[in-house]
A and B are shown apart, each in its own frame.
Chain A
Amino acid sequence: MSTNPVLAPSSDATVSRRGFLMKLGILFNGFAAMVLAVPVVGFLFSSVTRGRASGYLAWVPLGSVSDFPEGETRLATFRNPYVMPTDGKTVDTACWVRHIAGDHFQVFAINCAHLGCPVRWFQQSGLFMCPCHGGAYYRDGSRASGPPERGLFEYPHKVENGLVTIQAGELPTPGAAIASLTGGKPPCAS
C-alpha cells in the first residue's frame, strides 16, 4: 500500500510504475481466468464429453423371448442405463419390439423420426402412426407417409440366454449417433 497521494496520470510517452503494475494486474487476472476456465468449460460440456469418452450406450434387457409372441409387435419398457438421482420416471423409456420369427427381432425407438413424438402401433393396419404431424411407418419401420424423411430408429439388439437385449442410452434424434449406426431403410420395403 502506497501513501503517496499522486492522482494525476503520467504522460503517454513514459511508462509509469503504476501503469505497468496495473497492466501486470490485468494480465495476472487474465491468467487466473484462464485457469478457472478449464474446469468451468469442462463442467459445462461434461454432458457432451462423457458421451464421447466412455459413452452413454449400454446393453439393456427388455424381457424374455417368450414375452414377445411371434409375428406381433409389442410395447416394451426399459430403464435408461445412464441415471441421475433426480431423474424420476423420465429414465423409463418405451420401445416397440417386433418379433419376426425365432431369434429374428426388430426393436424400434418410440420416437418418430420426424420430431420425436411417440408413435403408436396399429396391429390391424400394420402401421405406426405419429400423433404430432401425421408420420406413418410400415410394420418393419420403413417410412410409409408423412413428413419423416426416413424410417423409424432401430436399436441394435441381440438375443442372449433367451433375453431380448438392446443397446440403448441416448435419445434417438435425426442427427444422433444411433441414426448413423442403423441408417434409414428404403421407403417401399415392407
Chain B
Amino acid sequence: MRIMIGKIGEWFDHRLQLAAPIREAAEHPVPRNTASWFYVFGSAALTVFLLQLVTGILLALIYVPSAGEAWSSLQALNHQVALGWFIRAMHGWGSNFMVAIVLIHMVQVFLFGAHKFPRELTWVIGVFLLLMTLGMAFSGQVLRFDQDAYWGLGIGASIASRVPIIGPFVVKLMLGGPIIAGSTLSRFFALHVFVIPGLLIAFVGLHLLMVLKLGINEWPMPGRIVKRATYEREYHALTRQEGAPFVPYAIWKDLFFAGFIILAIAACAYYFGPFGPTGQPDPTIIQTAPKPDYFFLWLYALLSLLPPSMETPFLLIGPAVAILALILLPFLSGEGEKSWKRRPIAVLTVLLIAIILGTFTRLAQFAPWSPQMNAWSGDPVPDRFVHGTTALERQGALVFQVKQCRNCHSLVETGGKRGPSLDAVAVRLTQDQLIRQVIQGGGNMPAYGNNLSPAETTAIVAFLETLHPAGQAPAHDASREIVLRDSSQKAPGTQQ
C-alpha cells in the first residue's frame, strides 16, 4: 500500500516538480531562539484568514447581497438553515480574532525590531495587510445589513463628504448612488468578497515569500546592533551554522497555537452566538442608537469628544499621518538596536497607543455623551428628592421630567450622563445662576428660555434648589439679600 502511494506521489511530482521546493521551504534553517511562543501570531493570523475564507464561502451559499433581502437571508441563516447560526458566529468571531491577532502580531514584530533592515518591505506590506483587515472588518459589518450597518454607512458618508472639493463625489462613489440603498450593499459585497480578499491573498503571499527569502527575524539581543553592511552575514551565521530546520523544530508551536485559536473562536461562536442582525435596515425606523463593532468603538468615542472645530481636520489628516508614519517607520529606524530592552521610546509609544485606544473603547461602551432617550419617561425621580417637598418643588420635579432634562442629567446615577449629575447642583449654583443656566443654556446645554413659561422656570429652579446633600447648605449669593432689600424698599411689592 505504501509503495503504491509512493508511486502515485512520484508520478505527480515528476510532472509538478513541487516536492523539492516545498521541502526546501519547510526545512529552511531558522535561528534556534525563534522557536518561541512569541513567534506564533503571524501564523495564527494566517490560520484565521483561511478560516474566514472557508466560513465566508459557506455564508455566501445562503446570503443574498440585495438591500431588500440581505436582512431576511441573515435571519434564515440564524434560524432556518441548520447550523447557519454557528457558521455566522464563527465568521463574526473570526473577524474579531483576526483584527486582534493582526494587531498583536504587529506590536510583537515592532518590539522585536523585525521592521529593521532588510525587512522594511515586509513591514510595509504588513501595514497594507492591517489596512485591508480593517477594510474587511468594516465592509463585513456593512454586509450584516441591519440598522447599525445602515447608519454606520451614513457615518462613513458624512466623514467622506468632508473631504474638501471632491467630498460629495466621494460620497456618491462610496454609496453607488445618491442614498444608502441597493447599490451600496452590492458594492460593499464586491469589496468584501472579491476585491479585498483578492488583494489580501496576493499580499499575504508576498509577505510570506519575503519571510522565507529574508528569513525570520532572530530573537533580538540587547547590544546586537543591526548594520546594513554586516547584518546579512551575521544572520547567515545564525541560520546556516547554528540554526535548525523550521519543520519540525519551530513549527510545532505554530501548530499548537493555531489549533488553540480555532478552538477559541469556535468556543466563542458556540457560547456567544452570531452578531445580530439587529433591527431591519428601514430608514423610517428612527428609534435606534447605532454603534460600530468593537474595533471602531475608539473612533466613535473620539468623534464625540473632539472639539467640533478640530473634528474635520483630525478625521481627514489623522489617518493619512498615521499610515504615513507606519510606512516610513522602517526607513527612519532601519538600523540600530532591535531589542525592546534598549528601545524605551518604542515601548512607551506602544503603551501610549494601547492605553489611548483602550480608554476610548471603554468609554464608548458607556457612551456618556449620548442622551438617554427614554430617561425622562422611564426613570423615576428618587423618593428622597420629592419627600417632604412643597407643591412648587414637586411641580418643578414634574417639569424636570417632562422637559426631558433627565435625558442628559442623572439623579442618583439614573438618567443621561451627557450633562453633569444634578444630585448636588444646588451646592454648585446659586438661584440666579440656575435660572440663567436653564433659560440661556451654555456650556454645551441648550437654552430652554423658549420652552419654559415663567411659572415652569420658577418651579424647576425651586426643585433644583432642593438638590443638595443633607447637611450641606445650598449655594447662595451673599450680596443678593442686600440688593433685594434695597430694591424692595424702592419698589414695594416686587417679588423675588
A interface list, Cβ under 8 A from B: 45, 47-48, 51, 56, 75, 77, 80, 82-94, 110-111, 114-120, 122, 124-127, 129-134, 136, 138-139, 144-149, 169-171, 173-177, 188, 190
The number of residues on chain B lying at the interface, defined by a beta carbon within 8 Å of a beta carbon of chain A, is 71
Which residue of the partner chain, among A56, A83, A115, A136, contacts B446 with CB atoms under 8 Å? A136
Starting from the known contacts A115-B303, A116-B157, 17 additional A-B residue pairs (CB-CB under 8 Å) come to: A47-B172, A82-B177, A82-B178, A87-B67, A87-B182, A89-B67, A90-B179, A91-B179, A122-B407, A127-B404, A132-B300, A134-B369, A146-B444, A147-B304, A147-B308, A147-B311, A148-B308
A122 → B minimal CB distance (Å): 5
Q: Which of B40-48, B89-97, B158-166, B423-431 contacts A (4 or more CB under 8 A)?
A: B158-166
Please provide the 3 A-B residue pairs with the shortest distance between their CB atoms, ordered closest to farther.
A88-B68, A175-B161, A175-B167
B157 → A minimal CB distance (Å): 5
Which residue of the partner chain, among A77, A88, A147, A173, contacts B161 with CB atoms under 8 Å? A173
Contacts of A45 in B (CB 8 A): 173
The complex places the Cα of A111 from the Cα of B180 at a distance, in Å, of: 12
The complex places the Cα of A131 from the Cα of B208 at a distance, in Å, of: 45
Which residue of the partner chain, among A85, A91, A130, A175, contacts B162 with CB atoms under 8 Å? A175
Which residue of the partner chain, among A114, A116, A129, A175, contacts B151 with CB atoms under 8 Å? A116
Chain B 242-261 interface 0/1 with A at a Cβ cutoff of 8 Å (1 = within): 00000000000000000000
Which residue of the partner chain, among B283, B308, B451, contacts A90 with CB atoms under 8 Å? B283
Q: Can you sample 12 A-B contacts with CB below 8 Å? A: A89-B68, A110-B283, A118-B288, A132-B155, A134-B408, A138-B450, A146-B444, A173-B168, A175-B171, A176-B168, A188-B447, A190-B449
Contacts of B168 in A (CB 8 A): 173, 175-177
Which residue of the partner chain, among B151, B157, B175, contacts A118 with CB atoms under 8 Å? B151
Which residue of the partner chain, among A75, A117, A144, contacts B154 with CB atoms under 8 Å? A117
CB distance A86 to B167 under 8 Å? no
Max count, chain B CB within 10 A of own CB: residue among A120, A122, A133: A133
In the complex, what residue of chain A is closest to B304 when comparing beta carbons?
A133
Contacts A89-B280, A90-B67, A114-B158 given; does A47 touch B151 at CB 8 Å? no
B152 → A minimal CB distance (Å): 10
A53 → B minimal CB distance (Å): 12
The complex places the Cα of A83 from the Cα of B404 at a distance, in Å, of: 38
